[in-house]
Structures are given as C-alpha cells and as structure tokens.
A and B are shown apart, each in its own frame.
Chain A
Amino acid sequence: MRKIGITTTVPIEILLAANYKVIDLNNVFISSDSYSEDIERAERDGFPKSSCAWIKGIYGACLRYGIDEIVGVQEGDCSNTGALLEVLKKKGIKVYHFSYPSSHTIEDITSELNKFMKAFNVSLEQTESVRKDLNNIRNLAKAIDELTYIDNKATGFENHISQVTLSDFDGNPQKCAEFLEGKINEISKRPPRKQLLRLGYIGVPPMICDVFEYVERFNACFVYNEVQREFSFPRASQAPNIYRQYYDYTYPYDLEFRLMEIKKQIRLRSLDGIVHYTQSFCHRAIQDIVIKQELDIPVFTIEGDKSNCLDSRTKLRLEAFLDMLGDIRGLK
C-alpha cells in the first residue's frame, strides 16, 4: 500500500478509496520523542525562526518518515502551507492540493471534492462506500466524546487523543476502530469524575499536551475539544453525502461559522470557561480578539511555541484564572 502524508484533515475517504495508507504528519511530528529534532531539521534547512513550530515540525516529520507523496491544504487551513509545499516539491516529493473554498458554498466544495476524486481516479460511489464504513468509526469517537461531557468519565486528554486520531485513523482504520472500542469499554466502567469546572478547549491542537492534566489539579477538566472534535466529523452520519460532510466542517471556513458551533457547544456542555490555544507566529492568534468579544464566558489564551510542556508563567496564570473561575462558580 502506498503511503501519503497530509498536512491537516483532508477528505480521507477519497485517499482510502484510492488505496492509500494516510499519515497525518502533525501526529507523526508531535507524538514522537524526537519532535524537537523535526523542528531543528527544518531550521537547519532554512525555515525562519519566526515561523510556526507546526509547519517546521510537519516538514521535519515528512522527511524523517520518508514521505514521497503529500496532500497540502492551501485554502482554508494554514497560509504557510503553500510555501511549505513548494519547498517539499523541490525535494522531489509529489504534491497534491486540496482547498476548502473560502466562499463556503456547496457548489464550490462539490467542485473541489470532484477535482480531488479525479486526481486520485476514484468514483463518487467508491468514496461514499468508504465514507459509510468510516462513519461507523466516527461514531465511536463520538461515543467517547459523550463519555466525556455527558457521563463525565473520559478525561480531557483521552477525549483529545480519540478525536485527533481520526484525522488519519492512525494509518489503519480497522486498528483505529479496535483502539476506540477498547477505550470505550475501559472508560464506561469507571465512576464519573468529580471536577467541578467545565472547560472548553478551542484553537489548533496544542503543542503542549500537559495542559489537559494540569487543569485537573484545580478542580477543572476539559469537556470540549473544538478542533479535535471537528477532525473527527461528529456530524458526518447526518450528512447525506460527502459534499455536505465537508461543507459542514467548521474549522477551515470563516470564524463566524466556527463560532456558531462553539457557542452551541458552550451551551450544550455547560462550559464555565474556555482556553484558547494560539500558536506563536500564527495568523489565527489574531482571531483571539474576535473570539474574546464574541463568547460570553471567560476566555483564557495560551500561546504555545516550541515547547511541549507548559512553562511556569503559564501555569501561574492558569492557576490564578481557574482559582477565580472557581470563586464565580461558587457564587452561582
């Protein structure tokens, strides 16, 4: 089976129908112990200090993993991907493009998906058939999400992992399904956890994964992982076809559309506060301005760079924030 790297979530149904093993380079990068070497590799090859650690990490992981075909998303995801793809192409890697059109009309998305199917020589029927199979696995991730915010049994980190892995189904949908089933089994048997404060996590998945555990020391837990959940396409089963499914995906389109879903989840999950993760040098950090104005619950912003654990300053800030949030919660 040929493998293909992806720089963010793309219509994986099509790639699987074309018989590819799909590898999300973000996951390869961040889950490796040598993650900082991936960044270093990129910097040695000329990536500027002032570019985001994710982009550099994807580049390093791509080379480390020996990827020779890659799908990059130029519209709707990262504005730096275009340049990244140009560099990778020069390295002899075959590059495919996909876009989430900013017009966000069903016509334009349909045409993008059709182009993508054509590029991989896959029919709509083949795609839909894979989609049906994947939806069963997507429902497992959804079940873990429910175990998080309804049953209060899954931790924020388990939630994060189970959602984020669906961007590439860990390179093997069957195995991924088994992993999720095992997790559901294990988690369901637990007693519900007792943390009082219910937090939401929004923004790109964090470089710093200890944030999920750290908040638990202060009587808080994450019961919503925005983008990770989007990666798992929780509404895919309701979508009549692949076109609708990718139309309904919030993350790559405009902020207003994303915020509609976030606001809905704030109510549904009774969130007390939001942690907004932004990445140094990322244009999305600017959106923090609008996000803070639009959301009516407290928003705490963390800016991550290269480190994979919380620094002491952020810990102190977070502690003070959660302390006061606890006061307010006690007041209600």
Chain B
Amino acid sequence: MKILGIDMGSREVKIALMDKNLIIHKQKISTMTFYKNYCLYKNGKLEVDISRLGISEEVAAVSTGYGRNNTDISMFKQITEIKAHVYGAIYQTGMKEFTLLDVGGQDVKVVKVEKGLITDLEMNEKCAASCGRFLENMAGVLEISLDKLTEYFKEPVELNSTCSVFSESELIGKIAEGVSMDRLCAGVNYSLYRKLRPLLFRFKGKKLILSGGVAKSKSLARYLANDFDEIIKLEEPQFNGAIGCCSYGSFF
C-alpha cells in the first residue's frame, strides 16, 4: 500500500506520497486552498478528500503539523511534528546520530537524536526574530529576494536588537548610515544566527542536519560550521515533515 504523508503548515500544506519506500510524488498547496478545495466538513469534522489529490487507491495516511488535530482521525494517524521531522531526517540521510535544526517560517526546533531516538529537544514558537518570518520581513525592507539575502555572510553589520520589530528600525537606521548592501544582508543573517545560538547551546558537537525553509540559507550554514563538526543540508528541507510522515507510516 502507498503511504500518504501530510504536513499541515501554517501557510503551506506539504504532501508526499511513498511507494515501496520511495517518495514518488511531492506537492505543496497553500493552507487556505487546501482547506477550501481539498477538504470536506462532515459531522463537524474535517476530512481530507484524497481523490482531489489525484489518489484513487487506498493509502495509509499519516499527518502532522498545525491543523492535524482537526483532520479526520479514522483515516489519518497523527504524529507530532518533532517525530515527523526526525523520521524525515533519518529517512533522507540514513543517519541515526545527529542534531536536527529545523527553522520554519514560524518556529524553531532543535532535536538531538541518538541511536535513532530523540534524547533531547528545544523549541521556540514564541519569537518571530529567530525564524523564517524574520528573514522574509528583512528581505522586504532591503528589497531583495530571500534567496539572494541569505547568501551574504562577510563582515556583518552589527544589529543588536533581540526583537524582530526593533531589528527592522535598526536596519533602516543602518541603511540611512550608508552601510553597504552586502554588509546589511550579512548583518541580517548573522542576527538570525545569534538568536538561534542560545537554543543550540546544549547541542554543540557533532553532526548538524538543517531542515525547514531556512535550511537553504548559505550564510546560516557558514556561521553554524564553527559550532559543529559537520553541517548537512537536507535535499528536501521543506518536505521533511511530510516525508517523515511517510517514513513513519512505512513501519506500521
């Protein structure tokens, strides 16, 4: 039987389909569209209409993320996001010992995995200055694409504010001082790294796997390289949760 993994993010729903231990299909749908066009309400419960995803056969379905508690329980087995991401990372890398840093749009998770099991974790869902949303806002201020912004790492301009709202005005101040674009961008990236550092404090050491949207950031990986022996970027960082759901489902 094929396995359907769904990661319900706050802005995008990520879908992965697995057959014989291989991911054969991936898809992203905006959360709004997903609820509107792919779901049905039955008896006050939300049910995912998988035929609209182009799936006609019976599948084993596993879900994680934001909206998971609302979905039809009989069809979806629900797992925590932490677990989904860990299963995803194990599946994608084949590793059993690592620290996983998942920087998503809205939250940050750090998980230590030993012998294939979670042994430690740290989360931050409360601070907008340490997640992807921060970079998006700053890219908007600097009028540069997110991809481009995250490339710069040299000579970061100092941004001291710990709060994302204040960082923005601080950045504008630096623009007005005539600081070069390269240094401004690097400053934004370094500022994100600095805010992640306390969360990573107890996880220093060996292998770090980067996951979530921000995993694509080149500068972040460069800064983190000093704290870990090896930095590994997942190939499908944004689909990691959905892939993890499939991988989890394949065991049962």
Contacts and interface: CB of A to CB of B under 8 A. Distances in A.
Binding between chains A and B: yes
A297 B116 CA distance: 11
Interface in A292-313: 292, 297-301, 313
A327 B251 contact: yes
A321 interface: yes
Interface residues on A, range: 10 to 19
B248 A317 contact: no
Given A327-B248, A330-B252, A320 B114 contact: no
Given A298-B115, A300-B119, A328-B116, A320 B82 contact: yes
Interface residues of B, number: 17
B116 A321 contact: no
The secondary-structure label for the interface of chain A is: helix
B194 to A, nearest CB: 22
A297 B118 CA distance: 13
12 contacts: A297-B115, A299-B115, A299-B119, A313-B122, A317-B118, A320-B111, A323-B80, A324-B86, A324-B118, A325-B117, A330-B251, A330-B252
Contacts of A330: 251-252
Interface string B98-119: 0000000000000100111111
Contacts of A328: 116-117
A44 to B, nearest CB: 31
B155 to A, nearest CB: 37
A316 interface: yes
Contacts of A316: 121
Most buried by A among B115, B117, B252: B117
Given A301-B119, A328-B117, A320 B252 contact: no
Interface in A264-299: 273, 292, 297-299
A321 B118 contact: yes
A331 interface: yes
B120 interface: yes
B121 A317 contact: yes
Nearest to B123: A316
B83 interface: yes
Most buried by A among B80, B118, B121: B118
A320 B251 contact: no
